[in-house]
Each structure stands twice: as structure tokens, then as C-alpha cells.
Amino acid sequence: MAAGVRHELLTRVFPALRHDLASPVSVIRMAMLMFKRLATVKPADSAAWEERVALVESQVGALATGVRSLRDWELAVTDEGVTRSALVAQCTGLMRAAFELNGIRLHIGEGLAPDEDEQRFPAGAALRYMFLGALSYLHDGAPKLSAVRIEPEGGDVVRFQGTRGASDPTEPADPHRAPRKLAIDGVALQLLAEDLGYFVALDGDTVRLSLARRSNNH
């Protein structure tokens, strides 16, 4: 069952991951068309060639980064961990568009700004699934959700506070978005937390997620 929850969460974030890979490919294709055009210009325009080569190099780098980021979701991969601010920035960045399409705003508290001396928490992949699970729990379960505020608590907790109101979808739902087969309710979120070894507290429209793994798990 926990594997099914993780699959559902990955399905929800897949459109954003796909975009990160498809965008550089599109730019590279356009650059290749320009290369063909430049090849017919005599004498050769060195500056134009250098500009296009630099563009392709940058997009190849972006594509490589996107491919490497797919490993962020593999639980079996040993990673270097993740800071609280980086976790919040990455996961809200992946989910923001989907939430805003449904009129739900994501607000990040000032206390979650990056800090050079931030603590790193191990098992970044598991934490990404937990973070997305908390957001999806509020999205699926809070009627008329209009906003989610994300704040730090103590040194290792993230608090998600849902706000209810008249949510106002900005545009029709994306027809290419992957279908949702499983609602993330309290049972599903707690099951995920137990499987991955984390503590999550649910209190109405508030979710508290501890980033410190339970000592007797994994």
C-alpha cells in the first residue's frame, strides 16, 4: 500500500519533471535549425556560431541536471541528504503550478530561507515523498482550500497550515496532467510515514512533519 502511495505522489509530480527534461530538448532542436542556416552563410559568422554553441552547451547542462534529478526519487540510492530550505524549495517548485491551477496558493515562511550552516537531513528521497504527501493530504482533504502556508518549527519540523476560502481556479485543468487514482487521506499519509520511518501529526488543516527519521526505522 505504501508503494502505491509513493507511486501516486510521483505521478502527480511527473508533469513538472517531464517539463524540466523537455524544455532543454526543444531549445536544442531550435539551435540545430539555426546551425543548418548558419552553415549556408559565407563567410562564416563566428560570433553567431559561438552564441549558438554556448546556448546548446547550457541546455545540455540543464538536460543532464534534469536526468540526474530523477535519482532524487529512488529510495534505494544513497544520497547526501537535504536541508530543510532546499526540500521546501524543490517540492513547492514542483507542485506550485498544479496547485495554482486549482486556485491554491503556496506561501513559504521567511524562516525557510537558505542558510549556509543549515543542517542536512539524510534520505532526501524519502523526505521528498513525505513533503509531497503532506501537501497532497491538504489538497485532497481540505474542502475549499485556498492556500497552504509552510513554516519551520524548531530545528527539524515543517508545519503546513491550510487556509480555507473560495478557491478560484485560474484556468481549466491541464488535459495532459496525469490522472489521479488515489486520494491522499490521513490513512494513506500515516501509512507512508510509518513505511519510511517519519513522524507526522495531523490536526485539522495543519500538518506537522518531522524531518528526523525515527531511530528504530531504516
pLDDT tens-digit readout, 42-96: 888 888 888 888 988 988 887 777 777 667 777 766 778 899 999 999 999 999 9
CA angle 49, 52, 54 (to 5 degrees): 105
- 34 pLDDT above the threshold of 50: yes
Identify whether 75 is part of a domain: no
Q: 58-82 burial, b if ≥16 CB within 10 A, otherwise e?
A: ebeebbeebeeeeeebeeeeebeeb
Q: Are residues 91 and 17 in the same domain?
A: no
Residue 176's domain spans which residues? 82-210
Q: Are residues 90 and 179 in the same domain?
A: yes
* C-beta atoms surrounding 26 within 10 Å: 10
pLDDT tens-place string over residues 172-202: 444 434 445 678 999 999 999 999 999 999 9
pLDDT tier, 149 (very low <50, low <70, confident <90, very high otherwise) = very high
Q: Are residues 56 and 110 in the same domain?
A: no
- Looking at residue 175, what is its pLDDT? 40
pLDDT tens-place string over residues 11-30: 888 877 776 677 888 888 88
Q: Are residues 154 and 118 in the same domain?
A: yes
Q: Are residues 60 and 162 in the same domain?
A: no
How far apart, in whole angstroms, are the C-alpha atoms of residue 74 and residue 26?
27
Q: Are residues 175 and 112 in the same domain?
A: yes
- 206 pLDDT above the threshold of 90: yes
Q: Hunting for cell 500538518 — which residue is that?
A: 207
- Say what the pTM is: 0.75
> What is the β-pairing status of strands 82-83 and 120-121?
antiparallel
How far apart, in whole angstroms, are the C-alpha atoms of residue 79 and residue 90?
15
Q: Are residues 98 and 170 in the same domain?
A: yes
Total number of domains constituting the chain: 2
Share of the chain above pLDDT 70, in %: 88
How far apart, in whole angstroms, are the C-alpha atoms of residue 12 and residue 152?
24
- 157 pLDDT above the threshold of 70: yes
How far apart, in whole angstroms, are the C-alpha atoms of residue 60 and residue 54?
10
Q: Are residues 200 and 128 in the same domain?
A: yes
Identify whether 65 is part of a domain: yes
